[in-house]
Structure 1
Amino acid sequence: MSEDFYIKFILPHKGMIIKLCRAYTDNEFDFEDYFQEVCLQIWRSKDNFREQSKWSTWIYRITLNVCMTMLKKQKKHGAINGFVHNDLITESEAFTDEELQMLYMAIRKLPEVDKGIIVLYLEDKSYKEIAEVSGLNITTIGARINRIKTKLKAIIYGK
Structure 2
Amino acid sequence: MSNDFYTTSILPHAGIIIKICRAYTDTQEDFEDFYQEACLQIWKSKDAFQERSKWSTWIYRITLNVCLTLAKKNNRKDVTTYQVIEISEDNTAFQNENLQILYSAIKQLSDLDRAIILMYLEENPNKEIAEVIGTSPNNIAVRVNRIKKQLKTILDGKIN
Query: What amino acid sits opposite 2:35 in the alignment?
Result: F
The structure-2 alpha-carbon separation of the partners of 1:38 and 1:151, relative to structure 1 and needing over 3 Å to count, comes to: same
TM normalised by structure 2 equals: 0.88
**Percent identity over paired residues:** 57
Q: Secondary structure at the match of 2:50?
A: coil
Distance 2:31 2:95 in 1: 13
Aligned ranges 1:9-158 → 2 under 5 Å? 9-78=9-78, 91-92=91-92, 95-158=94-157
CA distance in 2, matches of 1:70, 1:13: 20
User: CA deviation digits over 1:95-146, x for unaligned, max 9?
Assistant: 5421111111100000001111001000000000000011111111001000
Question: In structure 1, how many angstroms separate the alpha carbons of the residues matched to 2:2 and 2:52?
Answer: 25
Unaligned runs of 5+ in 1: 81-88
Please, which moves more after superposition, 117-126 or 97-106? Answer: 97-106
C-alpha distance in structure 2 between counterparts of 1:65 and 1:78, whole Å:
20
For residues 95 and 30 of structure 1, the distance between their equivalents in structure 2, rounded to whole angstroms, comes to 17
- Distance of aligned partners of 1:113 and 1:69 in 2 relative to their CA distance in 1, 3 Å threshold: same
CA RMSD of aligned residues (A): 1.8
SS of the aligned residue for 2:51 comes to coil
Partner of 2:84: none
Q: Which has the higher contact order (CA 8 A, sep 6+)?
A: 1
Which whole-Å CA distance do the structure 1 matches of 2:31 and 2:132 have between them?
21
Opposite residue 103 of structure 1, the aligned amino acid is L
Whichever residue aligns with residue 28 of structure 1, its letter is Q
TM, length-normalised to structure 1: 0.88
Structure 1: which amino acid aligns with 2:7? I
**Alpha-carbon distance in structure 1 between the residues aligned to 2:53 and 2:44:** 18
> Where in structure 2 are there 5+ consecutive unaligned residues?
81-88
CA contact 1:117–1:130 (8 Å) conserved in 2:
yes
Flag as ranges the 4+ runs of structure 1 deviating above 4 A: none
Aligned residue in 2 for 1:2? 2
Aligned residues: 150
